[in-house]
Amino acid sequence: MSAGAPPLSGPPKPQAKALNCPKCGAAIVLRSFGQAETVVCGSCHSILDAKDPSLAILQQFEIKTSDIRPLIPLGTRGKLRGTDYEVIGFQRRSTKVDGITYCWHEYVLFNPYKGVRYLSEYNGHWNDISICKTLPSVDSAFLNSPGASADYLGESYKHFQTSDANTDFVLGEFPWQVRVGEHAAVTDFVHPPRVLSSEKLDKEVTWSIGEYMYGQEIWDAFKLPGTPPEPMGVYENQPSPVTTSVTRIWVAFAAFAVFLLGLMAGFNMRAKKEPVFHETYHYNRAESKGEASFVTDVFELTGHPSTVEVKTHAPVDNHWIYVNYALINQDTEQAWDFGREVSYYHGYDSDGSWSEGQQNDAVVIASVPPGHYYLRIEPEADASLPGIPYTVDVTHDVPVFGIYGIAFLALLMPVVIISFRAYTFERSRWSESDHPPMQLSSMSGGSEDDE
């Protein structure tokens, strides 16, 4: 080493090998250091044998459209999940289902130490794909049935779709003998956020495992300009926005409902339901032409602030009676003012018999403090009613079951919302599969564990 030369720091940077296309003479860059089987000339679209020093032409294809452009340009380097990769290949593939052609893109990534992995993109949905290290087990007898599944590394994957994938366009380097126009039978099994795929080409079957990625993760990894395309629809292995197990939430709801029932029973037993006043009066129209109002005897409410129920009963028959009440605290001059109607109507018409209202009415006054109380009562009645008896009952500390009803609905509402969200998401997911929701026996959404 000469004294003037600075020492090299770190390992030497990998250099791409430059060659020329034997067809058009355009520069060909080999980035994968001999790992590529084929390389595609971006200028004349010749597929060349990368293992051949003279780059023998294997196939030449014509591109049908000019709008096929990789979202991640070849040669772009980035750090994907902690490992540096360079994009060395790109292909567009398509499948035809029910007369509709669906296209997606695949990128070949290369790291000299880690080898090759892939990214796929379909309508803004991305997957990080690598070749399976062990062979998944699958029951091929039931492959296309709704319950078909595959097991890989202890996880069960549900059959999603089997289709023919066609290679439409290729660019860059590929670690296999790629050809435009070749067909492969692709079978996908899903366990969101993962997808297990088998690709059968002739007699060779390749299994790969993919994990869903968001576009922004790709953009961040490769430091791409702009923003990634917005995902459209729900993808086969897209994680559900409902990350919680719906079953567990229903179990929690059931536990809360039981507890609420216990609470209701407990408070019902504990409630005093103490009758503090009972009196029957007679409304007389002739007498009420003077001052109709009167006050009752004083009754005492004891204990903590609690409910007071005022019940009115009147044997009305196609009439009404209306009673103005004021529950007045004799000591504090505090009052609760309310009016209650008791009406009962019935009859017959062309629809048959009908009835409305009832002969009883009850109202519950909230949080009445202990003390001495009396009622001011002022009755009114139907003009055609000369007189009628009515009974007033006052009960202290009665349970209000409506509170439990509201609590029950409050507990139920989030569970219903989350279940509906999970259901609609899974429905969208499986509507694209070979087993659309009509055939779906169980909802697989929400099977994901919390966090």
Partner 1 sequence: MFRKFYLLYGLLTLSTAAFGQYRGWSLDTINQLKNVPKSVRDNPGSYRSVYGGYHHYTGGK
Site residues (CB under 8 A) for partner 1?
Answer: 242-245, 248-249, 252-253, 256, 259-260, 263, 267, 291, 293-295, 304-307, 318, 320, 322, 324-326, 328, 330, 333-339, 341, 343, 345-347, 349, 354, 356-357, 363-368, 374, 376, 378, 380, 397, 399-400, 402-404, 406-407, 410-411, 414-415, 418, 450-451
Closest approach of partner 1 to the CB of residue 201, in Å: 43
Residue 126 structure tokens: 């991305």
Closest approach of partner 1 to the CB of residue 338, in Å: 5
Closest approach of partner 1 to the CB of residue 127, in Å: 24
**How many Å apart are CA 451 and CA 379, to the nearest integer?**
63
Length of the chain: 451
Closest approach of partner 1 to the CB of residue 363, in Å: 5
Closest approach of partner 1 to the CB of residue 260, in Å: 6
- Output 108 or 422, the one with its CB closest to partner 1: 422
Residues in contact with 256: Cβ distance below 8 Å, sequence separation at least 6, in sequence order: 411
Closest approach of partner 1 to the CB of residue 282, in Å: 17
Other residues' Cβ atoms within 10 Å of the Cβ of residue 70: 19
**How many Å apart are CA 380 and CA 393, to the nearest integer?**
18
Strands 77-80 and 83-97: antiparallel
- Output 22 or 369, the one with its CB closest to partner 1: 369
401-431 helix and 246-270 helix, angle to the nearest 10 degrees:
170
- Output 54 or 367, the one with its CB closest to partner 1: 367
- Output 324 or 391, the one with its CB closest to partner 1: 324
For residue 423, the SS3 value is: helix
Residue type at position 122 = Y
Among residues 442, 439, 432, the alpha carbon closest in space to that of 163 is found at 432
- Output 332 or 439, the one with its CB closest to partner 1: 332
**How many Å apart are CA 39 and CA 48, to the nearest integer?**
5
**How many Å apart are CA 372 and CA 388, to the nearest integer?**
29
**How many Å apart are CA 50 and CA 47, to the nearest integer?**
9
Q: What H or E segment, with its residue span, contains residue 260?
A: helix 246-270
- Output 67 or 291, the one with its CB closest to partner 1: 291
Closest approach of partner 1 to the CB of residue 428, in Å: 20
Q: Is the dihedral of CA 428, 430, 434, 437 positive or negative?
A: negative
CA angle (430, 433, 438) in 5-degree steps: 60
- Output 142 or 345, the one with its CB closest to partner 1: 345
Closest approach of partner 1 to the CB of residue 408, in Å: 9
Closest approach of partner 1 to the CB of residue 346, in Å: 7
- Output 142 or 294, the one with its CB closest to partner 1: 294
Does a cis peptide bond (omega within 30 degrees of 0) precede residue 193? Answer: yes
- Output 170 or 242, the one with its CB closest to partner 1: 242
- Output 57 or 257, the one with its CB closest to partner 1: 257
Q: Say if residues 208 and 129 touch (Cβ distance below 8 Å).
A: yes
Residues in contact with 400: Cβ distance below 8 Å, sequence separation at least 6, in sequence order: 307, 364
Closest approach of partner 1 to the CB of residue 422, in Å: 10
